[in-house]
Amino acid sequence: MSGRIALIDYGAGNLHSVANALKAAGATSIDITSNAAVVACADRIVLPGVGAYGACASALRAVRGMTEALNVRVLGGGVPFLGICVGMQLMAEAGEEFGTHAGLGWIRGKVRPLTPADPTAKVPHMGWNDVVPAVPHPLIEPGEAYFLHSFGFESDRKGEGIVATTEHGGQVTAAIGRDNMLGVQFHPEKSQRYGLALLERFLAWRP
């Protein structure tokens, strides 16, 4: 039983496609919400994100009480949390896109421009690519997922916090996490069976 899922609406995500994917994975109670009080009572929280890091961080902070509710419910309450694309990136300490912008600070590291060593690897990193587990994690399995991003997470502590990687002219972070939180750089809602299976595992997760 997944309980009540808060899908956070801060003007920066594919809300309906993510909601539809969660329903296809078995979710029965999804609140698409910009209400911090709803998030503070949720049993699971999903933070999507599309666009520039700074704009997304500002938009999230502009929702009254939202970052406080996230900290209370995710860090304090231990509810399962899933960040998607920029929603994953916001878990970091900061992002360096059009200046440096503070993130939620849940995972130590920063989001920096992708700089492939292979000149044939284009930016943005777009399309299907392998997801390779870096450490055992109950939600991450090997497979292929759909990516679309120009910036990536870099750990400041020798890979700490990195759960999975992919290859795009060098190693790129595909997922980060610790404790009850996971962030994925790829889009589960666009990743067909692989993405649906990940969402099914998230709905059943008891960290």
Q: For residue range 140-180, list pLDDT tens digits in order.
A: 999 999 999 999 999 987 789 999 999 999 999 999 999 99
Region 196-206: what's the mean pLDDT?
98
Number of CB atoms found within 10 A of residue 195's CB? 23
Which one of 125, 149, 168, 187 is the catalytic residue?
187
* 56 included as an active-site residue: no
Q: Which backbone phi and psi does 54 adopt, to 5 degrees?
A: -60, -45
Could you tell me how far CA 162 lies from the centroid of its own chain? 12
* 187 included as an active-site residue: yes
* 144 included as an active-site residue: no
Q: Which residues contact 171 (CB under 8 A, 6 or more apart)?
A: 165
Q: What share of the chain is helix, strand, coil (3-state, %, to 5)?
A: 25, 35, 40
Which one of 101, 125, 168, 189 is the catalytic residue?
189
Res 155: pLDDT: 94
Which one of 56, 85, 149, 168 is the catalytic residue?
85
Q: What is the pLDDT of residues 111-146, one digit of tens each?
A: 999 999 998 999 999 999 999 999 999 999 999 999
